[in-house]
Amino acid sequence: MLQVVQISLKNKDPLKFKASVVSISQTLVPVVKYVNQENPIVLFNCQDSPSISLLDVSALNNYVALYFDKDGERFIYRGASSPFDENENNSLVQSHYKLVLFIPYPLDFNIMEIKSINIAYSNATLNWPNALDSNYHFKIPLASVKNYNLEVLNPLKIQTVSNEEFLKIDDLLPLFMETVHGINPSLNSLHFLAKEKCVKYATIQKSYLSGYYHGITIYEYGQNDSSPRIIDKKNETYI
């Protein structure tokens, strides 16, 4: 997925460009599978991968890898590789860094000036609403409609209903907003209903600070379940 990546520089304006963001969890990463003419700049998110990743850079020509590690809420620059040349013996590179940016070489900025990297997320580029099963239809309560950006969520089939209709079990899935501070509206009433019959509902994951919607999760909660079960999930690559 393409995201706007920003590199902060010392004593200079930050650089912004589009990069394909790829989350990896495997030990061996075939870099050339992701770096191509369509996606010349690729940021690998290695936070879910083993402590050491092996980056297969064979056949990669005129590229350099920039390494970043998390420090609080930022990803700080930790160093760079030597330029890769497909004619040299550079088949595997070890990395223990959390973010690795592959970018064409030579660069039009000084590597020594790099401070940190971050992603400028935008709701305008969300992919998951269109990827969600078209059979899902949602409802939100009138009292909480201000908490939902319906212009952004337009690809979803959402109806605004009364508070009573919101908790009624029907073909519309109650849609809740989830941030690091909890879920709104409260799930308590819905979970109480699950003691009598199976209920389905959805939560949208939202960044509390930026307001960025980065995914949706569909749950099912039955009488014999000790907790809700995830039956579907769609996410952006969110770092």
Q: How far is residue 138's CA from residue 87's CA, in Å, rounded to a whole number?
A: 55
pLDDT, tens digit (0-9, with 9 covering 90-100), for 29-40: 999 999 998 999
Q: Is the pLDDT of residue 53 over 80?
A: yes
pLDDT, tens digit (0-9, with 9 covering 90-100), for 201-229: 999 999 888 889 999 999 999 888 889 99
The pLDDT value given to residue 72: 75
Q: Show Cβ contacts of residue 110 under 8 Å, excluding neighbours closer than 6 positions.
A: 9
Angle, CA of 48, 201 and 171, to the nearest 5°: 140
The verdict on whether omega for the bond into residue 50 sits within 30 degrees of 0, i.e. cis, is no
- CA distances to 84, 122, 135, 161 from 150, in Å: 46, 15, 19, 14
Q: How far is residue 140's CA from residue 17's CA, in Å, rounded to a whole number?
A: 36
Q: Dihedrals φ, ψ of 113, to 5°?
A: -90, -10
Considering only 46-55, 57-66, 181-190, which range has the smallest mean pLDDT?
Answer: 46-55
Structure tokens that stand for 151 in this block:
């212009």
Q: What is the DSSP letter of 160?
A: E
SS3 state of residue 114:
strand
Structural domains in the chain plus CATH codes: 2-120 (2.60.120), 124-235 (no CATH)
The pLDDT value given to residue 48: 77
Residue 86's pLDDT band (cuts 50, 70, 90)? low
The pLDDT value given to residue 170: 93
Sign, CA dihedral 127-133-134-140, equals: negative
Contact 45, 20 (CB under 8 A): no
What pTM was computed for the model?
0.69
Residue type, 31: V
pLDDT, the chain, mean? 90
Q: How far is residue 202's CA from residue 238's CA, in Å, rounded to a whole number?
A: 19
Q: Is the pLDDT of residue 88 over 80?
A: no
Q: Dihedrals φ, ψ of 112, to 5°?
A: -65, -15
Q: Is the pLDDT of residue 50 over 90?
A: no
